[in-house]
Structure 1
Amino acid sequence: MKPDVAPGAETLKLIRELIAFATVSRDSNLELIDYVRELLRPLDADVRLTFDQDKRKANLFATLGPRGVPGVALSGHTDVVPVDGQDWSSDPFAVVEHDGRLYGRGTSDMKSFIACALAVVPEFVQRGLKTPVHLAFSYDEEVGCLGVRDLLADMAQAGIRPRSCVVGEPTEMRPVIAHKGKQSYRCTVRGLASHSAYAPYGVNAVEAAAEAITYLKQMARRHRDQGPYDRGFDVAYTTVHTGTIHGGTA
């Protein structure tokens, strides 16, 4: 924690309490959501919850200040990645402060931002908000941004459209205006089996897939060499890669 951005006592308290909820993506986050809802209850917040199919997880969307006009959304996710198989020297769900840093699962990504937002909204409300502040806390970001889809659908159905959004992902305190989008594809290549002695009579799916991978590599080089470029990103061009490949029987 740098001295000029060190969190206050209330923020530290909230960080510790939020980290104590072991909201690994595979587990429920409802206790944390209930905790946040209780914090917001005295602030006359309009709170909306959207649940996953099994009712084990929920998104929370809260509005403070005037209703019916576009506001500023503070967005974060409540889930964290697992700690299984990791050699922690302390309980990952109990914050430890050492050498000016806070250690615990989710201190960076991204419960500290949620704590910061919750710490300041009472002051916002006390001063009187002319523009609404929205809190948008989702589930299952770490496993494909699953929860935010239902959250956005609920907002659209309710006619809620914030004029701006601050996403509190860790960026080392640097403002970042955007991140790249992503598209994922699964390609299945089917061949025709034959004995190796009669290879010309068959179709080798592995070889065909290798040609497709080579084509993707050529596409990646073309983006690298010809753009288009956006110098706002560390890697200024579109990237293409093959993640995994499985195939063959003998």
Structure 2
Amino acid sequence: MSVVELTRDLVSIPSFEDETAAGDFIAEWLRRETDADVTRDEVGNVIARKGDSTADSLALVGHHDVVEPASSQVAGEEYVAEERDGRLYGRGTADMKGAVAAAMLAFRDSDPAGELVFASFVGEEVGGVGARHAIDEGFAPEYAVVGEGSTGYSSPGVTDVAVAHKGRRGSTITAHGEAAHASEADAGENAIYRATEAVSLVRNLEPPAVEVTGETLEGSVVVTEIDGGTAMNVVPDRCEITVDERTVPGKRAPLDRVEDLEGVEWTVDQDLPPMRCDDEDFAAAVLEAADGAQSATPELVTKPHATDAGWLAAAGTECVVCGPAEPGEAHTDTESVSINVLERCRESYRSIAETWPR
């Protein structure tokens, strides 16, 4: 079976909101095509192991959930998967069933240097539900290659190796006041005014930054929503602000300072961790594998988006990101992936599985 055929099969299976059928397919394929120990946990993650269980483990990691498809990406009970102009189009081709297919084939075909693990998680698109569950249940490979997009970062068409990525912390700042009629404004306490003080504080925060592979990975802190007030003639007693913060490894913006303001509280709603690989030898080995699978010269790069690599890194796994998706492809109505790059990733994954750990 070719990587195109396997990707098409995976893409055609609906896996927005319910990933059960896609997980069934992956697990059944692995049991049929390999002699690996294949398990399916209670949330739907598929994990397979082969090789020397006493050696350090290398995991090829992906996810089989997708975001909601556009109507043009659905035909009856299946999702559309179309091949044209050297690319495969459809929801999930880039993010990230193409990489899952490449990893499945590499897992089957490789003679691993140590213990080789394949893992496809659920719920990556909704905060890493599957990865977090697996980690809580003891999933702890020493090393992982996460197949999220790393193609086209150093230059168009080149599949690079990302050794760091940003995280995302979403939070809410709530300002409390005291309602009053607007004709007697001094009788109340305007929550919007208190909220504007918090906005000013956020605007003046220094975004976190860290040096990785000779470049600066810089985070950001942005107020993205505001909601307050009930009527034109009422002094508001409540105002909420949402903040999008892109975090970097080892550093956070001191958003908790807003709680020093009178009547203001701060709540973290989502916290997707950043990732950085601290094992230079592992990063170099994956780069060597990627280099051997393509005519261009890949580089070690950083990635702006949070992935399941962040959860794994936070739990102690040395991670890199290497995959076929290009910037701007994921989550679009015309999502697609290069067939040549799928083949390249399949070979890269097989190569690193057979040479790492050293």
Partner of 1:60: 46
Q: Deviations over 1:125-165 (max 9, x none)?
A: xx4x34111111111111222221101111x2xxx532211
SS at match of 1:230: strand
Structural mapping, 1:33-112, within 5 Å: 33-42=23-32, 43-52=34-43, 58-84=44-70, 87=72, 93-112=79-98
Higher deviation after alignment, 110-119 or 63-72 = 63-72
The 8 Å contact of residues 50 and 150 in structure 1, kept in 2 or not, is answered as no
Deviation at 1:44, TM superposition (A): 2.3
Residue identity (%): 31
2:142: which partner in 1? 163
SS at match of 1:82: coil
Match of 2:118 in 1: 135
Check if 1:18 corresponds to 2:7. Answer: no
Conserved 8 A contact 1:73-1:164:
yes
Q: Give distance in 2, aligned partners of 1:210 and 1:82.
A: 36
Secondary structure at 2:46's aligned position in 1? strand
Q: Does 1:121 align with 2:107?
A: yes
Aligned Cα root-mean-square deviation (Å) = 2.3
Return closer, same or farther for 1:61/1:233 CA change in 2, 3 Å cut-off.
farther
The answer as to whether partners of 2:11 and 2:81 remain within 8 angstroms in 1 is yes
How far, CA to CA, are the matches of 1:137 and 1:36 in structure 2?
A: 8
Q: Given residue 32 of structure 1, which amino acid in structure 2 is its aligned partner?
A: A
- Name whichever structure is richer in strand by fraction: 2
Question: Structure 1's 89 and 165: CA in aligned 2 closer, same or farther, altered over 3 A?
Answer: closer
In structure 2, the CA distance between the partners of 1:39 and 1:131, relative to structure 1 (3 Å rule), is same
CA contact (8 A) 2:63 2:120 kept: yes
User: 1:23 offset after TM fit, Å?
Assistant: 0.4
| CA apart distance, 1:47 | 2.2
Q: 1:186 aligns with which of 169, 172, 176?
A: 172
Residues 49, 59 of structure 1: 8 Å contact kept: yes
1:89 to partner: Cα distance: 9.8
TM-score w.r.t. length of structure 2: 0.57
Tell me, in whole angstroms, the C-alpha distance in 1 between the residues paired with 2:203 and 2:72: 37
Give 1:188 deviation, angstroms: 1.9
Give CA deviations for 1:38-59 in whole Å, capped at 9, x if unaligned.
Answer: 222242222232223xxxxx11
Do the aligned partners of residues 232 and 210 (structure 1) sit closer, same or farther apart at CA in structure 2, a change above 3 Å counting?
farther
1:232: Cα distance to partner? 4.9
Q: Structure 2: which 5+ runs fail to align?
A: 152-158, 232-358
- The separation in 2 between residues aligned to 1:121 and 1:114, in whole angstroms, is 10
Shift of 1:78: 0.5
Question: Counterpart of 1:149?
Answer: 132
How far, CA to CA, are the matches of 2:214 and 2:223 in structure 1?
21
Give me the whole-angstrom Cα distance separating, in 2, the residues matched to 1:197 and 1:147. Answer: 54
In structure 2, the partner of 1:204 is 190
Shift of 1:94: 2.7
Conserved 8 A contact 2:209-2:216: no
TM-score w.r.t. structure 1 length? 0.80
